[in-house]
Every structure is written in structure tokens, then in C-alpha cells.
Amino acid sequence: MDLTRPADLKEHASGTGARRTRYPVYVDYLPPCNSACPAGEDIQGWLAEVSAKNFERAWQILVADNPMPAVLGRVCYHPCENSCNRTHIDSTVSIHAVERFLGDLAREHGWIPAVQRPDSGKRVLVIGAGPSGLSAAFHLRRLGHQVEIREAGPLAGGMMHFGIPAYRLPRDVLAEEIARIEAMGIEITLNHKVQNVLREKDEGQFDAVFVAIGAHLAKKVDIPARDAGQMLDALSFLKEADAGGQPLLGRRVAVYGGGNTAMDAARTARRLGAAEALIIYRRDMANMPAHRFEAEEALAEGIKINWLRTISEIDASNIKVEIMRIENGRPIGTGEFETLQADSLILALGQNSDSEFLRPVPGIEFERDGTVIVGPDMMTGATGIFAGGDMVPSERTVTVAVGHGKKAARHIDGYLRGNPYVPANKNPTIGHERLHMWYQTSAPARQQAHLPAAKAADSFNEIVGGLETDEAVFEAQRCLSCGNCFECDGCLAACPEDAVIKLGPGKRYRFDYEACTGCAVCYEQCPCHAIEMVPEGGAPANPDLAKDRPASKTKTDVRR
């Protein structure tokens, strides 16, 4: 569909005359926040319920897509907000903060998600209790299937537990969200490493398998070293710290890498007592894989970041680094060197997936890095075996993994029922240039409280606070409802022919096409662009919302 503004609607009167040339229809476009969400949340839908103070209803809408809102409200990097049209007015809607508010409210009140369908009699094995496995299990259970999760580790949560420090994700929050999923009738078996998928599938009489083992193997790097000091990988270090261990780090700790895990490792080292923690990374801040706010928070806590440096040699506590420069976005060595001092070195160079146990399974194929190749339906090359999360080629975030779990569950459900799942077509995304913000005034976002950086580095206490109820409601009310009618009555009040008919709360409006002249005043007054002007005789913009499309009317046919 052409989303450019019709040239003949620069002035609303140009749509009128001896013959009506266009007529209005109510449409639903896709809000950019919904479009950008890796978990596929109906963000606009649950924000509208929060705005109306229907908190439990909002939470039910939210968990229909994301079973762990208290977790994702804390750890998601909220790409929804990067796409929010509100940024063109003042600042983005703080979607993640409202999501966290709902998640914490559900924990406080013990809300339970609804199970959608009766038991199917089918059984699904989920391998891995990380975000993708938990999400898949949740959605499969809602779809009526029996689910068992088998997890190699001693705790459920995967990288949420072992890779994200408690100052970002308190362990009681994670535990409560997992417990709610388990209480739906999902069995979680811990300390059970699956070695033979086909055998466990057959012995357990499972009808399908979803593999979501994550990526827990640290990538290696070949660094010439003589009498090297303490060296360890970031994930093992974070796991030990989470378990209450005290790794022998010394006074000065260096972290090699530029991702979010590197930032977490350095900040954790400071919290464990290191007097100095520095990060060594071969690119600059503009080209680092870590999110900018992660680096800024690390710097505020006293972490030093040595940009444009790569390690060339280690000799005891001396780390020889080459100074780099950026050319066409790539780091290039300059041939200049300097020496940094550190008692220990933490390698944060990424992780690989331990997918070797799947190689004997006929049909499963792998990328060179060991990730498993899946089709659009998340199924591997082996019939009935699906995979998702960090072990398949994708962006490695908690939210992406949760989205994979939901997508896989829908396709597994279709596979089990012999009725393949076909995703609905998405409506076009609505941009800010299509909105009619005649009424909007500035209303800056409510800010979450943060612990002062100096105090934050002293403990693993959560560093970001939540919103109060009135703040969450205010924030939800900042939503522009892009592309979808929110019943503001703008069209009703603006129509000079009384051709707009209000149908009641939640039912929106309809047009009386016998009275409509096609003047487009309603279109121009609709702030969220929920009305489109369609040429007479052409196809309606949204057939479901334009079932009463009229025939062309002459001037004598319409009321003046």
C-alpha cells in the first residue's frame, strides 16, 4: 500500500465536488514499537489497558507473548523504544519500565496466566531451561500440550541466571517468574544433560522436541604468553561470582572484549573488591558491540576502557597491546605498542553453542560456528526436532530468545495437530510523518531511579528502580496509539455531515456513507492515522474494517 499522503488531500475540501472521489475507512496499521519487538508483544494493546488502570488485563495481554515481563522489563534492550514515534515530540515512551511495573505487580498479587486450550494429549520435550526453552514451554502449555524441560545445570534460567549479574536482574525476580511457569503444570528436571536426543524422545514418548541449549562455551584466543597470570573466561567468572565464589583476581583486573558481557565482567570484578578494573577493546565506542548505556554506566562506576587496543603478548602482569585505528569500520594495527598492568585477565570474546550432541541426528545441519540451521518454522532438518535461542543464527539477547520460543511453540503446535501454523500478514508500519499531531504537547518521560554510581559499585543490589503506579499510568498515557483508533472522538466532532457514528466503548465508529461527502476532515483530524482515504471504485485499505464500502455517489446523492 502506498503510504504517501494523497496529493489531493493537502486541503480537505479538494475531496468534494460534483462527485465524491474518495471515501474514508477505518484502518489498523502496525505501531513501530510492536514491529520492533523481538518477542512480538502487543505493546500498544497493553499500554492502553495500563492507561485505563486495567492492570491485570494489561498483564494478561503482555504475557500472551512474553511469559517473563518482570525479567524482560529489566534486561531487554528495548528496541521498541528506539522505534517509538514519540521521540519526534519529546522522548520515547518508557515501555520497558511499564512492562517491569506490570511484571512486579503480578508477582505481588500472584496473577496466573490463562491456559488457552484443553489438553491435546501430545507431549513435548524441551532441552534447556533458558529464556527460549522457558518461553516455548509456557506457550506450548497454553496451547494445551504437556511439556517437560530437561536442563543440564543445577538451576533454571540459563544465561539469565549465569550471565546477567544480580545488580541488573535480582535472583528472586527471576525465580518467581520461573516458578509461575512451572506452576502451569510444566515439569523441569535439573542436572540432566541430554546426550542422545532421539533416544530420550523415544523413551519419553515425546511427540516433538525443542532444543534451546544456549551458547555457554567461551570462545578461545591465541595470545603468546610467558609466565601468564590468572586467566579465565567471562562466563565462568560470572557463574562463580553468582554462586558466591571469590575468584582470585588481584588488585588490578583486565577484561578483554567490548560486548555487554565484558562490561558486566568488569563491573562485577569491582564489586568483588578489585581496586582497578580496565577493559581492553580493539574498536572505539562508536563501533563496540555493547550497548552504549552499558559502557556509560561502567565508566561512571570507575571502570577504565582502553579503546583501540588489542592484546599482542602477555608476560606475567604485563599486557602488551597494539594501538589500533579504525578504517571503514574495521580496526587496523598501527605498529605502535604500549604496556598495561593487570594481575588477572578475563576473556570476554563471546560464546559458542555446545551442539556436538546433535551431530549424530540425521538431517540436522550446522553453520561453521556450530549454530544449528533451522527453517522459517524453527524446525531443524530432522522432522519433529525444533531449535531456537542462542544456538541458532540470530542476535543473542534474552528477548530474541523469548520470541524464538513463542514462534517455535506455534509451529510445534501446528506440527502436532497436522495443521501447519501460518503467521497472519502484518499491516504496514506507521511512521511519525503519517501522524496528525495537532493536539500533542510535550510530556517528557518519567525517569526510573538509579543508585548513584559510587554506591552501586559497592554491592550487587539492583541499580535501577521501578515506577510507582501513577508514574506507570502517566507513561502509558504518553503512547500515541500510532495507526490504531483509541476513540478520541476527533472524527466524530470534526465531521460536518454527521456521517461518523459512535458505536460505544471499545467498538470504535462506523461511517454513514449515504451522508459522507468525502471531504476528508475526519482523516485530517485523526491524530493516530486510523482513517485512510480510499479512491472511489478502488480496493479498501483494510477490507475487514471497510465491509460497507459504498458505491460512488454524485452530488445529488449525498446530504449537504
Answer whether residue 461 is part of any domain. yes
- Do 37 and 17 belong together in one domain? no
The C-alpha angle 467, 469, 474, rounded to 5 degrees, equals 85
Answer whether residue 435 is part of any domain. no
What is the distance between the alpha carbons of residues 140 and 273, in angstroms, rounded to a whole number? 44
Q: Is residue 70 a contact partner of residue 496, using CB atoms and an 8 Å limit?
A: no
What is the distance between the alpha carbons of residues 76 and 139, in angstroms, rounded to a whole number? 20
| This prediction's pTM | 0.89
User: Which domain CATH number covers 360?
Assistant: 3.50.50.60
Which domain-ending residue is among 323, 348, 373? Answer: 348
Cell output for 479 = 503512547
Q: Which residues contact 245 (CB under 8 A, 6 or more apart)?
A: none
What is the distance between the alpha carbons of residues 224 and 218, in angstroms, rounded to a whole number? 18
- Do 232 and 344 belong together in one domain? yes
- Do 92 and 240 belong together in one domain? no
**What is the number of domains present in the chain?**
4
Q: Say which amino acid occupies 289.
A: P
Give 404-441 pLDDT, tens digit per residue. 999 999 999 999 999 999 998 889 999 999 998 876 67
Answer whether residue 431 is part of any domain. no
pLDDT at 226: 61
- Do 309 and 405 belong together in one domain? no
Which residue numbers in the chain have pLDDT < 70? 1-18, 226-229, 439-440, 538-560
Answer whether residue 186 is part of any domain. yes
- Do 286 and 337 belong together in one domain? yes
Q: Give the domain range for residue 511.
A: 7-28+485-557
Q: Is residue 81 a contact partner of residue 92, using CB atoms and an 8 Å limit?
A: yes
Q: Is residue 365 a contact partner of residue 398, using CB atoms and an 8 Å limit?
A: no
Burial of 140 (0-12, 13-18, 19+ CB in 10 A): buried
pLDDT at 3: 42
Give 508-533 pLDDT, tens digit per residue. 999 999 999 999 999 999 999 999 99
Q: Is residue 524 a contact partner of residue 541, using CB atoms and an 8 Å limit?
A: no
User: Which domain CATH number covers 444?
Assistant: 1.10.1060.10
Neighbours of 134 (CB within 10 A): 31
Q: Is residue 371 a contact partner of residue 391, using CB atoms and an 8 Å limit?
A: yes
User: Which domain CATH number covers 527?
Assistant: 3.30.70.20
HSE, side-chain direction, 13 A CA sphere, residue 397: 20
Q: What is the dihedral of CA 493, 494, 499, 505, to 10 degrees?
A: -40
Q: Which residues contact 105 (CB under 8 A, 6 or more apart)?
A: 55, 59, 111
- Do 237 and 336 belong together in one domain? yes
The residue to which cell 589500533 is assigned: 324
Answer whether residue 101 is part of any domain. yes
What is the distance between the alpha carbons of residues 228 and 218, in angstroms, rounded to a whole number? 19
- Do 174 and 290 belong together in one domain? no
Cell output for 453 = 554510581
- Do 149 and 232 belong together in one domain? no
Answer whether residue 1 is part of any domain. no
Q: Which residues contact 500 (CB under 8 A, 6 or more apart)?
A: 491, 492, 509, 510, 511, 512, 522
Compute the 3-state secondary structure of the chain and give helix, strand, coil in percent, each to the nearest 5: 35, 20, 50
